[in-house]
Structure 1
């Protein structure tokens, strides 16, 4: 594992979106002494499989998994994320928005204590989502949204449970917590990312994945 390497990993099915996301990555300031690599996974049958493929192909200690329609606006993103990881070795995983306690239905955005910020277009138009701010550099959470996930340790993504495009992010959050790590959302003065996802499609296996998540993570631990 190379402690001075950062790897960006995308699952890609739209070259135009990916090119724009990559352009923003290329404009980020790179911490001194670090190198950046990029892994573009084409034709992934599910998010977990694509991310596992990207993870296995890279020896970077720090990996950033992001959607192809995510733009990183904060030019010091890498510097700040690395600083947080180095100051907080128990934090295994960072996301841009999340929830301190996952509600019983498994849908994180229905939770009462949401944190973080992002520009997002899930309702059909771009808007600022800005949730509760806490004191300190990070807020520990139970789950983060998968628009962007940064890690400093490798854990397998659960292909055996999630064979589509939903709840892989909450699953990975819980896997890190079960492994003894913390999951966190950083303090952001302004949003570090923009997610131009459009209206969320909940017809392509969302409820089936939700039920799987609830059964495996919430009911088992209750």
Structure 2
């Protein structure tokens, strides 16, 4: 999908420093405010996270997105309404710059780019390099919730999780066949569901190392 570039995107992000900290690395270790901290990596236009923040006011939510034109839309959707939601304009590869060790209770990976070509495998957000980073920032009871419409990426992710110190649970190859009442659909998920496409989902959590 071609990214539509917005000339005003950076101005939108800079106009709300409470929602989009201009130096997010200075907030490292302080995001949770004593509450559970859930982070969506690659938050896109923010529909999913804005809904979660409204539904669960006792949880702190952070959305990370590297494309300012996309993140600007997420910020506009919130417009300061949900006080338990903030955003980071940054790259997932630098997640350790923004969150301290064990700070995050849940990571969401929703419909991230599957990078289907083998030569681009290192860019997949379930590549071992990223899984190692997630282990560092996840709390001892933390987990990862992954949803995708791409079966090849899903299969790859299951193998990657399993081979690099994660356990799996609540695995489904057709989420909407018996959709849980608490499932919050992303923008992509709504589009795919309307086309009758299957949605794949799994929860992964680091194995306890003794």
- After TM superposition, the score normalised by the length of structure 2 is 0.34
Normalization by structure 1: what TM-score? 0.32
- Greater share of residues in helix: 2
**Greater RCO between the two (CA within 8 Å, min separation 6)?**
1
Higher strand share: 1
